[in-house]
């Protein structure tokens, strides 16, 4: 599948999610059935990440997309093992909801799979931490005029705050997933 076709499918899934159209989502998934599993899983991954990046929805709402995709075709969840595009959406988002959804929907995940995923997540977590910088109120947030007992934020400052919150939540989510994987790998299943 070429990049333009992938982007068309991603936008179709994104629009379906934004409009709350499960029927539309199911129709797009039906169309994806004619493509290779890796391509279909990549489309779903990119749609999940787009919804997380460009909207105020949480992983619990978005996990519906993953459940529908996995139930449509289990191979989409298994192609490439722990390097599966759906698993990558979990790693990149740090969403515990997506992690739990995936592990509940996919049967037969082995100890080796969990160990490989743990190692991959630890490496990704280190890369994410290295890529983030400090955010300072007087440099990155310059507004904050008091008016009628409220502090008003400029749109740019609001966007910066939104991004900082996303990054923070991503790190917390990744840490929780790493702790859960560590418990599974070490036999301390909750």
Taking CA atoms, 8 is separated from 46, 151, 165, in Å, by 11, 41, 29
Residue 146: what pLDDT? 66
Residue 104 and residue 160 in one domain: no
Residue 45 and residue 131 in one domain: no
For the chain, the domain total comes to 2
Query: Of 67, 87, 108, which one is at a domain's C-terminal end?
Result: 108
The parent domain of residue 76 ranges over: 1-108
Residue 40 and residue 14 in one domain: yes
Residue 30 and residue 17 in one domain: yes
User: pTM, whole model, 2 decimals?
Assistant: 0.83
Residue 15 and residue 100 in one domain: yes
Query: Of 62, 84, 108, which one is at a domain's C-terminal end?
Result: 108
Residue range 34-93, pLDDT digits in tens: 999 999 999 999 999 998 888 766 666 788 889 999 999 999 999 999 899 999 999 888
CA–CA gap between residue 48 and residue 78 (Å, rounded)? 17
The answer to which of 32-36, 128-132, 150-154 has the lowest mean pLDDT is: 150-154
């Amino acid at each position: 599948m070429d990049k333009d076709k992938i982007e068309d499918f991603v936008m179709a899934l994104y629009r379906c999610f934004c409009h709350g159209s499960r029927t539309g989502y199911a129709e797009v998934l039906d169309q994806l059935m004619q493509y290779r599993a890796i391509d279909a899983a990549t489309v779903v991954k990119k749609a999940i990440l787009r919804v997380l990046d460009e909207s105020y929805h949480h992983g619990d709402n978005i996990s519906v997309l993953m459940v529908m995709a996995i139930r449509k075709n289990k191979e989409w969840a298994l192609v490439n093992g722990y390097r599966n595009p759906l698993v990558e959406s979990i790693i990149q988002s740090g969403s515990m909801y997506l992690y739990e959804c995936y592990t509940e929907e996919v049967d037969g995940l082995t100890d080796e799979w969990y160990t490989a995923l743990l190692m991959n997540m630890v490496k990704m977590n280190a890369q994410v931490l290295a890529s983030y910088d400090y955010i300072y109120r007087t440099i990155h947030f310059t507004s904050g005029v008091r008016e009628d007992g409220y502090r008003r934020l400029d749109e740019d400052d609001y966007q910066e705050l939104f991004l900082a919150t996303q990054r923070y939540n991503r790190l917390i989510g990744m840490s929780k997933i790493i702790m859960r994987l560590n418990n599974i790998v070490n036999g301390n299943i909750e």
